[in-house]
């Protein structure tokens, strides 16, 4: 089945990015939200991003032409004719299952359902529908228009045909797809999360200061940013949540939250978004490392 029309659920950080790259790749896109104001906010971000691409000369056509391929809606029925549905609503299993169960009888039978979840089991979501063989994970990275990777996740029920269509779709979006299976964390978080948690443990054990550990990994390994800078970017609350899901899946210490991460989250210090995490961002251009 050829994918022509893309449905995106949620117009937040990730949904708006997925809608944008789909439209930039020439697909018609319909984005579903719970309220018009979330669509307005998401589309205004998309328009700004398209203008930046145009300014840099990296857009093949006029921003208005890309924008014209995108529609927003608050009605489930408007997704009926979509060939693929990519869900990017909040990271909550009950909400996601409810959404899939509501859309399953509406969206045409041949359509593929894909979730952008970072940590929830795709298998647990697919059972909310009567199309488990047409269900995959498509895990994009933030910011979607700039990050080249998409993890294409297959469950034990995904059909070969659907998996290959989803993989090819990832390529058509200009991404580099990688194949992975439905194990919590997929490839990237499976490797990244223990590394980030080990950096916190190293700090707790007095191996180095926060800026020294950051500089060591930046300059010694060529990473674009150190682990504490990255943790503050991702959000400590988000990381803490992921540690729970991953520890629950594998029961291994390397996925367990170090005490300091929990303390920072309990204090409401979530990183950049709350103004304070491993660094203090009172002056955002000059973050000051914490001493804990």
Ligand X SMILES: NC(=O)c1ccc[n+]([C@@H]2O[C@H](COP(=O)([O-])OP(=O)(O)OC[C@H]3O[C@@H](n4cnc5c(N)ncnc54)[C@H](O)[C@@H]3O)[C@@H](O)[C@H]2O)c1
CB of 233 to ligand X, least distance (A): 9
Q: What are phi and psi of 252, to 5 degrees?
A: -115, 140
The CB density around residue 226, as the number of other CB atoms within 10 Å, is 21
Catalytic pick among 16, 116, 139, 165: 139
d(CA 76, CA 106): 8
Q: Which of 117, 158, 165, 229 binds ligand X (CB under 6 A)?
A: 117
SS3 at position 168: helix
Residues 146 to 175 in contact with ligand X, rule: CB under 6 A: none
- Told to judge if 189 belongs to the known catalytic residues of this protein, a careful annotator would answer yes
Q: Does residue 88 touch ligand X according to CB under 6 A?
A: yes
One of 8, 9, 21, 126 touching ligand X (CB under 6 A): 9
| Interface residue with ligand X, options 6, 7, 15, 257 (CB under 6 A) | 15
Which residues does 90 contact at the CB level (< 8 Å), separation at least 6?
A: 10, 12
18 lies in the binding site for ligand X (CB under 6 A) = no
Cβ distance to ligand X smaller for residue 99 or 231: 99
How many other C-beta atoms can be found within 10 angstroms of the C-beta atom of residue 273? Answer: 15
- Minimum CB separation of residue 161 from ligand X in Å reads 25
Please tell me the distance from the alpha carbon of residue 277 to that of residue 124, in angstroms, as a whole number: 33
Binding-site ranges for ligand X (CB under 6 A)? 9-15, 32-34, 38, 88-91, 95, 99, 116-118, 140-142
């Amino acid at each position: 089945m050829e994918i022509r029309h893309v449905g995106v659920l949620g117009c937040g950080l990730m949904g708006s990015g997925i809608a944008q790259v789909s439209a930039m790749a020439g697909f018609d896109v319909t984005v579903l939200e719970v309220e018009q104001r979330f669509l307005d906010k998401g589309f205004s971000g998309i328009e700004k991003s398209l203008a930046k691409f145009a300014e840099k000369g990296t857009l093949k056509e006029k921003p208005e032409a890309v924008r014209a391929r995108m529609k927003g809606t608050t009605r489930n029925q408007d997704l009926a004719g979509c060939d693929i549905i990519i869900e990017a609503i909040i990271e909550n299993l009950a909400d996601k299952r409810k959404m899939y169960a509501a859309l399953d009888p509406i969206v045409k039978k041949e359509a593929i359902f894909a979730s952008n979840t970072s940590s929830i089991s795709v298998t647990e979501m697919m059972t909310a529908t009567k199309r488990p063989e047409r269900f995959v994970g498509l895990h994009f990275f933030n910011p979607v228009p700039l990050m080249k990777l998409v993890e294409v996740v297959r469950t034990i029920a995904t059909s070969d045909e659907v998996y290959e269509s989803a993989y090819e779709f990832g390529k058509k979006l200009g991404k580099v797809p990688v194949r992975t299976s439905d194990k919590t964390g997929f490839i990237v978080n499976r490797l990244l999360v223990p590394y980030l948690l080990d950096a916190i443990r190293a700090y707790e054990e007095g191996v180095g200061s926060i800026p020294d550990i950051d500089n060591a990994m930046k300059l010694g390994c060529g990473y674009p940013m150190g682990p504490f800078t990255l943790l503050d970017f991702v959000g400590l609350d988000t990381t803490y949540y992921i540690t729970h899901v991953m520890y629950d899946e594998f029961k291994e210490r390397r996925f367990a939250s170090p005490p300091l991460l929990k303390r920072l989250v309990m204090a409401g210090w979530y990183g950049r978004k709350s103004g304070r995490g491993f660094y203090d961002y009172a002056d955002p251009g000059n973050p000051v490392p914490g001493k804990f």
